[in-house]
Structure 1
Amino acid sequence: MTIGITGPERKAPGRSAVVGLIIIAIVAAISLILLGLVADFLVDWMWFSSIGYPQVFWTTIGAKAGVFFVVFFTTAVVLWATARLALKQARRSRLPAGFAWKLAATATQPDPFEFMRDRLPWPRIIAATAGLVALPIAWAEAGNWSTILQFLYQVPYGANDPLYEKDIGFYLFSLPAWIAIKNWALLTLFMSALLAGLIYWVHGDIEYQAQRRSISPIAIAHGSALLGLFFAVKAWSYGLDRYLLLFGDNGVVVGASYTDIHVELPVLWLLIAISTIAALAAWANIWVRTYRLPAAAIVLLFGGAFLLSGVIPGLFQRFYVRPNELEWERPYIQRNIALTREAYNLNRITPKPFPAEQNLTFKTLETNKATIDNIRLWDWQPLADTYAQLQEIRTYYKLRDLDVDRYWLGGTYQSVMISARELNSSLLPPNAQTWVNRHVLFTHGNGAVMSPVTQKSGEGLPLFYLRDIPPVAHGGPEVREPRIYYGAESSDYVIVNGTVPEFDHPKGRDNVYASYDGSGGIPLSGMVRRLIFTDYFNDVNLLLTDYIADGSRILIRRNIRDRVRTIAPFLTLDRDPYLVISEGRMFWIQDAYTTSDYFPYAQPAPGLDLNYIRNSVKVVIDAYNGTVDFYLVDPGDAIAATYQRIFPGLFKAFAVMPPDLQKHIRYPEDLFLIQAKLYQAYHMEAADVFYNREDLWQFPRQPAGDGVSSLDGVAPMAPYYIIMRLPGETQAEFFIMIPMVPSRRDNMIAWLAARCDEPDYGKLIVYEFPKEKLVYGPFQIEARIHQNTEISQQISLWNQMGSRVVRGNLLVIPIENSILYVSPLYLRAEQGHLPELKRVIAAYGEHVVMKETLAETLSALFVENGAAPAKRGAAAETPSEGSQRRAQEALDHYNRAMERLRSGDWTGFGREMDAVRGLLEDVSR
């Protein structure tokens, strides 16, 4: 016998140190994550409190936390209970009767799971695993907080669906919540089965090897119980699928079709029965304990689902419904039409006839002076280039968006283009891109630029109602507080009321500085707050700088869309917030929508994930203080009413909006565009006409880009805002409109308008042309412009002289019961970016003319082409001396009339033309 002597046990060098470093790293990582979460929470709390919405913050946080903890606790308990049961049963079944083969196996080869099975602290591992798996599930489900709150606080819609006779609010609020709960239940069951299976596998109850594959009776019983729960949830899922039939699309009908109701619905009831039977069979197998019964149930359910809900409805649709499709689908097409019109408020569009007559006279133009004076000759792209060249002043200012609005200026209702002059610190020269410049000195924009839509200077440049820095008003509204701290361009945080004054605006060789005295921002007093924001922005300069004083404030989320989204993430925002000047201050108005994709039988909006939309909220943001006010303009909207119950302090009544701001609300272009696209088909209310697409409309085509040499590149016409007097109305008003043409045709068939002024705000009208009369559409007028020899020669000449012609959009201008077409023409240097308005093209009837100004164009169009009532040649028909004198007087009056016309004096023009008429009538006697 040999006795071996061994020395003391050696430890791997540095092992304890490595373990210690790993533990320190893990603790540090967890601490940083928690610090980040705490910093986010504290910053949000301070920010919501600073703008007056702490209740919204706590409601949102409470809902997220409530959903998170309920889902986390429930998921963790289910996973823990399933895993503990599996552990208990697996240990009880170790080496059970009938498993003698394991003795032989362990006697001949080592058991790879012996250490895991016998030495690991399984209760603690199961608890930790259940928590870790439940954590991401709960985190993901917390994103459904809005869905859950809508379910709990839902307001009835007030109308029922035609199939199940349920209030539509069930589909808007309850169905999404039930689907979210169902998906969570399926995921939790799957993870439970996976965790239990892993435990059974480690303990040998599940064997999956090349030599042997087996499952112990205990594992079979446990799996059967979970499978039974899965089948029960599937039965519920098929029950919910009955309601999802109302959102299907077979290419003819959106919603439940003939096949859905007569085949799919009975099939779903059958699948509910099969799932229930499968669940009972699986639970019965807890005592039978054979894998054949659950396998048969799985094959029966999924095989039956494939055959019953996949193959049979397809065959029924192809061989029974399609040959007689219109006959079978007619009532369901009618449902689709009715509910789509309801979902998009298309049923509120009032159709009116439009005779499309050819009887315009100068008397008519004088009566519609407000329309003529507001014909938009400045397109946004050429005007944006001109604004940038003339009014951005410095490289760090940006005139980002041009918006069309209307103001009472000089006693007249005028349409104007307006743009805010915002500051973008990223446009500072590279060597000036310092932290101090970006966050302390250059903090705000200054003023706005405004010009009328139809006037120009002698050089072809816009006439500015507002210009320069600080803004100077020449006929425009006065701006007493021009500084813009919150806008569409603002993104970085800035610090105000620091130890140095802020840059306000340039003045000659010097700069003017100012201090912020508004109410926006969060106080930065105390080192704790600076530490919080240092972590939040990951910017140590906030901690180290000496530019922060006791009264300093930090302005964050200065982008107006970000501000609104943070407060109300459940609202969908219009893409174009617009600037309003009211009582000397500057405000942004942001249109916000309530939307859903769960409106039964409604056609989804083209390219968007929604089939219901309302512009129920107008949001006003103060450009200086950053205050955000939500005004409820459609209290009848069930979704908005539900959110009003959830957040009782969020929405204000529209009546409390300042009256001057109420004058500037407008029908949003995004909503109008969605409605117009759907109305192209859904103006057809008869199922037969809709099915045959007999009267399908589309937007007119127009040349794409700014070229004018060909019509090869085309794009659909976009809606535009205009001031004009609608047929039958007594005064001009502001509205948005777009023409319509028949499908695959270019002649105009109708025009759609949405009114923007109170008391008729939100009313939509479609003016339909006589179907037996040809009315030229915009693309046909474009073709006639290109075919006009004088115009095409002039354009070709300009393009050969180092200049580039830029054609503006062709506008359709309804006047009385006639249509006038107007298009501006711009000229710019080949390498320049300063377009000048040089010509105006107009078309009426068979005539197309181009002159330097709109007044001259209309004069040439109506007088020279005989459209005016005067007849210039009448004076030459009388040879007497008196007649010659009166003819000379008529000519003098005519010349004065042309002068009045060029100056835009329509009243004087009409007076002179009346004198011409009287003289010519005397001569003709």
Structure 2
Amino acid sequence: MRNLKLLPALIGVTLGIAVVLYVAFYFIFLDLFVDLWWYESLKLEAYFWLRLLYKFFLAGGVTLAFFAIFFFHFWIASRYLGLNPPDEILSNLDKRRRFQRFADTFLSGSATVYTPVSLILAVFIAIPFYSQWETTLLYFFGSDSGITEPVYGKDVSFYMLSYPTYMLIQQEMLTTSALIFCMVGALYWLEHVFIPNQSSEFPLGAKVHLTVLIGLVVAFVIWGFMLDRFTLLYTDTHEPIFYGPGFVELRYHLPLIWLEIITFAATAITAGLFIFSEKHRVKEPFLISLTLFLCVAGLPKIQFIPDLIQKYIVNPNPVKSNKSFMKYNIDATLDAYDLKNIKTVDTTIQLDATKDIETWSTQKHFENIPVWDREFIIDNYKQLQEIRPYYRILSVDEDRYFILDHTRQVNLAAREINVSKLPPEAQNWENMHLRYTHGYGAVVTPAAQDADSPLVWYLRDLNMYSDVGFKVEHPDIYYGLEHFDYAIVPNKLDIVGIAGSNAPNTETAYHGEGGIPIPSLFRKALFAAYFNDEKIFFSTNISSESKVKIRRNITERISRLTPFLHLDKDPYLVITKDRFYWIQDAYTLSNKYPVSKPADDDFLEGHQDFNYIRNSVKVVVDAFDGDVDFYISNPSDSIIQAYSSAYPGLFKNLEEMPAELRQHLRYPRDLQYLQMKVYAKYHQQSPELFYEQAETWQFANVRGETVRPYYQTMDFGNCNDKEEFVLINPMTPVNRGNLSMIGVAGTLDKTNCGPDYKPGITVYKFGKDVQVNGPAQVEALINQDPEISAQFTLWGQSGSVVEMGRMIILPMGNTVLYVQPIYLASTKNKIPELTRVIVSIGNQVVMDKTLWSAFNRLKQIYVKNAAQSDGKETPKAIINRQEKTKETK
């Protein structure tokens, strides 16, 4: 009978243990196993264990430290409870039992009580460290950057690497010490409640203990005041004029913080003397100190005092009073956004462009002008080169390749797998995971092409046809931009004709190294549980040679490996003789760079606010095998130095990148957009000019849209006719249409003219004596041209839509060249066709079918004008002179 009574309890315990084990396995150990195998497949298992070790060491170490702190103080308190009532008090049986229970609970049984209480409190206090363990990691591995901020004289790496951890520790230690003081104080007080006739004075040990605790609370409060000084570096009260502390903050608020520290320390000392010392128990010092502290602490909340300072001292002399503080903001912002080394070239624009046209009159200068925008040509790629319903071209990239004895700029795109377009009956498990597993090949076209002619292809079709030498041994794309599901390859299916009947290796099983092996039924069972898909376990088409490919979207893949890196929105494809690769630019960010203006929210959507950025890492992903390599492209960045020290072996030097890939590195488009957006205001480095904002720029605007940076391959005369792959970014004055500057960002080593990656920005700044047309003004000239306007009208009447592409603006000696591609799109198939190219210099506009012929016509106009003005005025000049004479009279 007794065994029968225990049976339900035994069953309940067994079921409970089973549920706990199932949950632990399914939600913890299964993920852990798969993650470990995945890291092993990438040859990064050492990094996996190191990262796991850091996480649990820091989390466990912090929890253990707080547990020890709580338990130690509770144990000390139990020793100084002073449980020594007189014997006559204990003569009463009821009082004796009550005392015994109290003594057993708080003295003899202290470990039983204090251990769980200390553990619960330690976990509660340590929770913020669990989520911020990587921030704490930077504190241990950080080093000085060599750049000192001018307000407090500290290295800027202190703010980015140490300051966040100090703030976290201060808050948690203050909370801990306050909790312990309250709980231990309550414990000592309970003694007087449960034990009668106790002395009104605490035992000496208890007094010492409480004094130490209140001293710790005071110390952490003072530390908090000390850290509050640094919050002044991030004030935005002076926006939009400048960011950071000004006269009021550093001449009024900062002294108040020091007064708060002094008066609070005085209050704590006098309070301690009053409470714990009978000889010095005098109220006046404590009351005076407390009154002073409350007054000083209340002053920051009285707004009229800083308002008076602002009104009568700062506002009458804004530049003089805040000059040094504006300079702090300018210097810090330029450094935080890596704008200190921008090269400025003052360019004088000449109205007579004849000489520059003669210099540029070679075919070479027109072989790389990108008249095909990627926003337009992607429709051609999709319509003409996706070919099969299960292939998809997601985006078009720009790059340069050595083709036909010359460096040529190209547009290119990968043909990735997308099974969502298959017929519904074909979207079954076997097709999606065993058969349609990867994309195939890529398409390449020259960026510069003739108008009104068939599209020229450098690489096309599923047979990877190329007449310019493109040849890829492994054109399969298992990893890319698509949000792929998992794939299992190789398998026992005889897959024929998916890539194309004429394509090489279409019947050859996958023979790469990527993926997680499935050599046993045990792993098949685990993967079936992991994906919640029993077909993996029961499928007979999966062999012991099969491998599971997971996390095949390259953004997800990199983010899973290095969540502390922030990824650029535009990874791009690189073609090599062996296979395809993806190159992803990665950034390190911080929101704690002192006195630097925070970035706007139109960069890296979904990421944290930041006021410091470096393109510190280039990530290379093998599209065939899935291998991921991280290369440090900016070793001066203190954040990436800390991560590199923390994870040895994860990051490689850029020199270790294969030369075939290194020659395709580029300046990130979104990074230059962000930098130029900041530089548009902060190029005014004089505080006086910065305050006036008379030279502030904005992005050039046309048809109501911002002209974004675009890639261009051309020779700027920096390295012996060597062409550069650069980003062009035109800017205009605020609320004006004329051009102020052209920003050019490239990676060429202009000093040694070698293959080294040396990113930098050059700004071609135009003077104010001659107006330089902006894109909107050039477009107005185009629309005003009767011949062009009539042609546009004619095309529109024939059922086509006229589209004006991105205007290309290039510095050309002492003048500026404008190239405007014109597309026609049929209302039926919507495949755009490059139909004309417009070229403009100065106020002259010419439209033709090729860049070369349009430029030659423009050249003839300028040569003719130059001949007419040789020794005499042109008719136009005579008319202008006569008009001015009439106005004068």
Question: Normalization by structure 1: what TM-score?
Answer: 0.80
> Residue type of the partner of 1:543?
F
> Residue type of the partner of 1:321?
V
- Correspondence for 1:902: none
| CA distance 1:489–1:129, shift in 2 (3 Å) | farther
Mean Cα displacement is larger for which, 189-198 or 827-836?
A: 189-198
Matches within 5 A, 1:743-758: 743-758=734-749
Mean Cα displacement is larger for which, 46-55 or 688-697?
A: 46-55
CA distance in 2, matches of 1:27, 1:69: 27
| CA distance 1:367–1:433, shift in 2 (3 Å) | same
- Correspondence for 1:716: 706
Instruction: Summarize deviations over 1:528-552 as a string: whole Å, max 9, x none.
Output: 3334434433333333333321111
Kindly indicate whether the alpha-carbon contact (under 8 Å) linking 1:39 and 1:532 is maintained by their aligned counterparts in 2: yes
Kindly indicate whether the alpha-carbon contact (under 8 Å) linking 2:357 and 2:859 is maintained by their aligned counterparts in 1: no
- Which secondary structure does the structure 1 equivalent of 2:350 belong to? coil
| CA distance 1:740–1:872, shift in 2 (3 Å) | closer
Instruction: Summarize deviations over 1:716-748 as a string: whole Å, max 9, x none.
Output: 210011012225663432111111111111100
- Correspondence for 1:711: none
- Correspondence for 1:636: 636
Match of 2:297 among 305, 321, 341: 305
**1:148 equivalenced with 2:136 (yes/no):** yes
Kindly indicate whether the alpha-carbon contact (under 8 Å) linking 1:228 and 1:278 is maintained by their aligned counterparts in 2: no
| CA distance 1:296–1:338, shift in 2 (3 Å) | same
| CA distance 1:734–1:15, shift in 2 (3 Å) | same
- Correspondence for 2:445: 451
Extract unaligned runs of 5+ from structure 1.
1-13, 95-102, 104-113, 207-215, 704-713, 874-925
- Which secondary structure does the structure 2 equivalent of 1:735 belong to? strand
- Correspondence for 1:335: 328
| CA distance 1:282–1:716, shift in 2 (3 Å) | farther
> Residue type of the partner of 1:520?
G
Matches within 5 A, 1:702-781: 702-703=702-703, 714-726=704-716, 730-758=721-749, 761-781=758-778
> Residue type of the partner of 1:349?
I
- Which secondary structure does the structure 2 equivalent of 1:467 belong to? coil
Match of 2:64 among 63, 73, 92: 73
CA distance in 2, matches of 1:456, 1:70: 67
Q: Displacement of 1:671 after TM fit?
A: 1.8
Kindly indicate whether the alpha-carbon contact (under 8 Å) linking 1:521 and 1:555 is maintained by their aligned counterparts in 2: yes
Match of 1:520 among 511, 514, 519: 514
Kindly indicate whether the alpha-carbon contact (under 8 Å) linking 2:620 and 2:630 is maintained by their aligned counterparts in 1: yes
CA distance in 2, matches of 1:343, 1:557: 34
Instruction: Summarize deviations over 1:798-851 as a string: whole Å, max 9, x none.
Output: 334433222211111222222111111222222533111122222222222333
Matches within 5 A, 1:99-498: 127-128=115-116, 130-132=118-120, 134-135=122-123, 138-188=126-176, 229-251=216-238, 252-280=241-269, 287=276, 304-308=296-300, 311=303, 312-361=305-354, 364=358, 367-456=361-450, 458=452, 461-475=454-468, 477-498=470-491
**1:820 equivalenced with 2:817 (yes/no):** yes
Match of 1:45 among 1, 13, 36: 36
CA distance in 1, matches of 2:186, 2:33: 41
Instruction: Summarize deviations over 1:5-39 as a string: whole Å, max 9, x none.
Output: xxxxxxxxx99969975984586156414542222
CA distance in 1, matches of 2:600, 2:842: 35
Q: Displacement of 1:606 after TM fit?
A: 2.2
Mean Cα displacement is larger for which, 392-401 or 727-736?
A: 727-736
> Residue type of the partner of 1:857?
A
CA distance in 1, matches of 2:231, 2:853: 61
| CA distance 1:465–1:82, shift in 2 (3 Å) | same
- Which secondary structure does the structure 2 equivalent of 1:73 belong to? helix
Mean Cα displacement is larger for which, 137-146 or 588-597?
A: 137-146
- Which secondary structure does the structure 2 equivalent of 1:346 belong to? coil
- Which secondary structure does the structure 2 equivalent of 1:764 belong to? strand
Mean Cα displacement is larger for which, 524-533 or 395-404?
A: 524-533
Matches within 5 A, 1:670-709: 670-703=670-703
Kindly indicate whether the alpha-carbon contact (under 8 Å) linking 1:461 and 1:837 is maintained by their aligned counterparts in 2: no
Fraction of identical pairs, as percent: 34
- Which secondary structure does the structure 1 equivalent of 2:540 belong to? coil
Kindly indicate whether the alpha-carbon contact (under 8 Å) linking 2:451 and 2:850 is maintained by their aligned counterparts in 1: no
| CA distance 1:770–1:509, shift in 2 (3 Å) | closer
**1:658 equivalenced with 2:658 (yes/no):** yes
Q: How many residues matched?
A: 821
Kindly indicate whether the alpha-carbon contact (under 8 Å) linking 1:377 and 1:454 is maintained by their aligned counterparts in 2: yes
CA distance in 2, matches of 1:583, 1:652: 23
Kindly indicate whether the alpha-carbon contact (under 8 Å) linking 1:254 and 1:602 is maintained by their aligned counterparts in 2: yes
CA distance in 2, matches of 1:570, 1:469: 38
CA distance in 2, matches of 1:302, 1:37: 52
| CA distance 1:259–1:421, shift in 2 (3 Å) | same
| CA distance 1:22–1:348, shift in 2 (3 Å) | same
Match of 1:539 among 529, 533, 544: 533
Q: Displacement of 1:502 after TM fit?
A: 5.2
CA distance in 1, matches of 2:474, 2:745: 33
Kindly indicate whether the alpha-carbon contact (under 8 Å) linking 1:224 and 1:286 is maintained by their aligned counterparts in 2: no
Kindly indicate whether the alpha-carbon contact (under 8 Å) linking 1:443 and 1:502 is maintained by their aligned counterparts in 2: no
Q: Displacement of 1:430 after TM fit?
A: 2.8
CA distance in 1, matches of 2:813, 2:142: 47
> Residue type of the partner of 1:425?
V
- Which secondary structure does the structure 2 equivalent of 1:850 belong to? strand
Q: Displacement of 1:423 after TM fit?
A: 1.0
Kindly indicate whether the alpha-carbon contact (under 8 Å) linking 1:446 and 1:504 is maintained by their aligned counterparts in 2: no
- Correspondence for 1:58: 49
> Residue type of the partner of 2:142?
Q
Instruction: Summarize deviations over 1:491-532 as a string: whole Å, max 9, x none.
Output: 322111223255773436999443111111111122333344
CA distance in 2, matches of 1:89, 1:635: 56
CA distance in 1, matches of 2:13, 2:295: 51
Q: Displacement of 1:770 after TM fit?
A: 1.6
Match of 1:853 among 837, 850, 854: 850
CA distance in 2, matches of 1:327, 1:384: 55
Pairwise CA RMSD: 4.1
Instruction: Summarize deviations over 1:71-112 as a string: whole Å, max 9, x none.
Output: 222333445566778999999899xxxxxxxx9xxxxxxxxx
Kindly indicate whether the alpha-carbon contact (under 8 Å) linking 2:451 and 2:836 is maintained by their aligned counterparts in 1: no
Mean Cα displacement is larger for which, 161-170 or 526-535?
A: 526-535
Q: Displacement of 1:152 after TM fit?
A: 1.7
- Correspondence for 1:890: none
CA distance in 2, matches of 1:477, 1:507: 18
Kindly indicate whether the alpha-carbon contact (under 8 Å) linking 1:632 and 1:652 is maintained by their aligned counterparts in 2: yes
CA distance in 2, matches of 1:504, 1:29: 49
> Residue type of the partner of 1:260?
E
Mean Cα displacement is larger for which, 766-775 or 428-437?
A: 428-437
- Correspondence for 2:579: 585
Instruction: Summarize deviations over 1:305-347 as a string: whole Å, max 9, x none.
Output: 3423663445433443233221111111112222222222212
Kindly indicate whether the alpha-carbon contact (under 8 Å) linking 2:589 and 2:612 is maintained by their aligned counterparts in 1: yes
Instruction: Summarize deviations over 1:557-591 as a string: whole Å, max 9, x none.
Output: 22222222233222222211111112342111111
- Which secondary structure does the structure 2 equivalent of 1:240 belong to? helix
Q: Displacement of 1:371 after TM fit?
A: 2.7
Q: Displacement of 1:63 after TM fit?
A: 1.1
| CA distance 1:849–1:86, shift in 2 (3 Å) | farther
Kindly indicate whether the alpha-carbon contact (under 8 Å) linking 1:803 and 1:828 is maintained by their aligned counterparts in 2: yes
- Correspondence for 1:566: 560
Kindly indicate whether the alpha-carbon contact (under 8 Å) linking 2:472 and 2:578 is maintained by their aligned counterparts in 1: yes
> Residue type of the partner of 1:257?
G
